Amino acid sequence: SQKIEQNSEALNIQEGKTATLTCNYTNYSPAYLQWYRQDPGRGPVFLLLIRENEKEKRKERLKVTFDTTLKQSLFHITASQPADSATYLCALDGGRNTGFQKLVFGTGTRLLVSP
């Protein structure tokens, strides 16, 4: 069955360090992979999108890698700040098999950045 796995345990890091979050998937062939940030009780906010033929994407302090062979994406926040504390969700479209129009989310990883 199709699965998107993100570490359910919270990631605790110190301010200034690099946070690395992992997203693994099985039985998907996505055309895109997206990352969102969600604060408690709020709607997810889009951060980055990476295509299947792209290895890496950057935006300010954020970096995403996408390895379709390993079926894994890594999400990095460099020089992390307490304001980066939130839950980070990865999302895949259904791809050629399930359909491009479904965007399916992982359960997210909570990041806590302490001063």
Figure out which of the listed residues 1, 43, 60, 69 binds another protein, where binding follows CB under 8 A. 43
Note whether 20 and 42 are within 8 A (CB).
no
Q: Does 74 bind another protein (CB under 8 A)?
A: no
| Minimum distance from residue 14 beta carbon to another protein (Å) | 28
Structural contact between residues 105 and 91, judged by C-beta atoms closer than 8 angstroms: yes
What x-and-dash track marks residues 78-107 binding another protein by CB under 8 A?
A: -----------x---xx----xxxxxxxxx
What are the Cα distances from residue 37, in Å, to 28, 97, 98?
Answer: 22, 27, 25
